Amino acid sequence: MKPSKLEEAHIWVQEMKQRIAKLAKAQQAKSEAEKHQLKEAHWMRCPKCGQKLATETCGTVEIDVCPSCKGVWLDMGELGRIAEGESSFFNKCLRIIRQDHPVSPHLKAKSPR
């Protein structure tokens, strides 16, 4: 006995739903594989020259340094932790820079003309 047109349409719709679900699952797996591959290719690599980054410690913070181009890369929040405290590296640099100019020229009051 041959199925009716209504039954054929229902079977066709079910097959299409299964194909679409299978395709979506395959695309998601491919996307996750691409993400993993990109992370492996770029993880701990210098954004400027592509060399592998080395990790150095600055106080309690681990910073990433490129041995090739000497670039320094910080993760989120690391600059704030470096800048904290009077004896921090950042404050020591500011003191050295400001020996001749203790106040930033941007903070000086403008003289009236």
Residue 67 has pLDDT above 70, yes or no: yes
91 vs 21, which has greater pLDDT?
Answer: 21
Highest mean pLDDT among 4-13, 38-47, 58-67: 4-13
Report the predicted TM-score, pTM, of the whole model to 2 decimal places: 0.45
102 vs 40, which has greater pLDDT?
Answer: 40
Render 27-57 in DSSP notation, one character per residue.
HHHHHHHHHHHHHHHHTTB-TTT-PBPEEEE
Residue with tokens 């004896």: 87
pLDDT the model gives residue 113: 46
- Using a 10 angstrom Cβ sphere, with 0-12 exposed, 13-18 middle and 19 or more buried, the burial of residue 46 is buried
Rounded distance between C-alpha atoms, residue 28 and residue 22, angstroms: 10
* 54: confidence class by pLDDT, cuts 50, 70, 90: very high
Arithmetic mean of pLDDT over the chain: 80
Domain boundaries, the chain: 54-97
